[in-house]
A and B are shown apart, each in its own frame.
Chain A
């Protein structure tokens, strides 16, 4: 069965960096992308970006450009999202989801990780 298992909760100081992992299993990793979405406390879903597990191509939300890097390790079927220069408003639950390789007619984001709470403190 398809599973995405994320790393555990993190508490970081303002200005620091965080790296969240998302380990995929139950499907061919390189046949899909990974979508990253975050949710601030009490707020809605915010698309952060995407990475192709096939060729490493990325697409980041404009507001995060320059602070976020998404990578994959195909040998372990693991995706990573690193966010730098953390601010208080980066406090959120971060989700990975099995995404598309491109716009296609298959379901998008059909499996999600359990979420990783990142708390930015002073």
Chain B
């Protein structure tokens, strides 16, 4: 099974400043078609998870452009260019290489300093 790890697990942020979360997979998520099968989700307090990024770097519908995903192979990064108060929540990476079997990372809790 693919194991996903994230760092940091807790990230205090200052509004207006950038933020970055790392995700590492135990297996290469890059396939011969050139796509990396890595998605990012956020779960805001009291809400269901919502998709942010799919295939490592594609923003889901309605996601603000301050969110970006990058990386390839086993190392991936989610960046928020300028954090807003509404961005607090827990961010999860998830491998979709083995779809429809998915594996989530442990989550990174983002809150305001």
Asked whether, in the complex, the Cβ of B106 is within 8 Å of the Cβ of A44, the reply is: yes
Number of chain B residues close to chain A: CB under 8 A: 29
CB of A21 within 8 A of chain B?
Answer: no
Contacts of B49 in A (CB 8 A): 37, 45, 95, 97, 109, 112
Asked whether, in the complex, the Cβ of B104 is within 8 Å of the Cβ of A100, the reply is: no
Bitwise, A75-111 to B at CB < 8 A (1) or not (0) is 0000000000000000000010101111111111110
Asked whether, in the complex, the Cβ of B107 is within 8 Å of the Cβ of A50, the reply is: no
Task: Determine which of A35, A105, A113 lies in contact with B35 in the assembled complex, contact meaning CB atoms within 8 Å.
Answer: A105
Given contacts A45-B49, A112-B50, contact A100 B107 (CB under 8 A): no
Task: Determine which of B48, B55, B99 lies in contact with A100 in the assembled complex, contact meaning CB atoms within 8 Å.
Answer: B99
A110 to chain B, nearest CB (A): 5
Nearest CB in chain A to that of B98: its residue: A103
Contact residues of B with A, CB < 8 Å? 35, 37, 39, 41, 43, 48-51, 54-55, 58, 60-61, 90, 92, 94, 96-107
Q: Knowing that A52-B100, A107-B39, A108-B54 are A-B contacts, what are 19 other residue pairs whose CB atoms are under 8 Å apart, sorted by A's residue number?
A: A35-B100, A44-B104, A44-B105, A44-B107, A45-B41, A47-B102, A50-B101, A59-B101, A100-B100, A102-B100, A103-B97, A104-B99, A107-B58, A107-B60, A108-B39, A109-B51, A109-B102, A112-B50, A114-B48
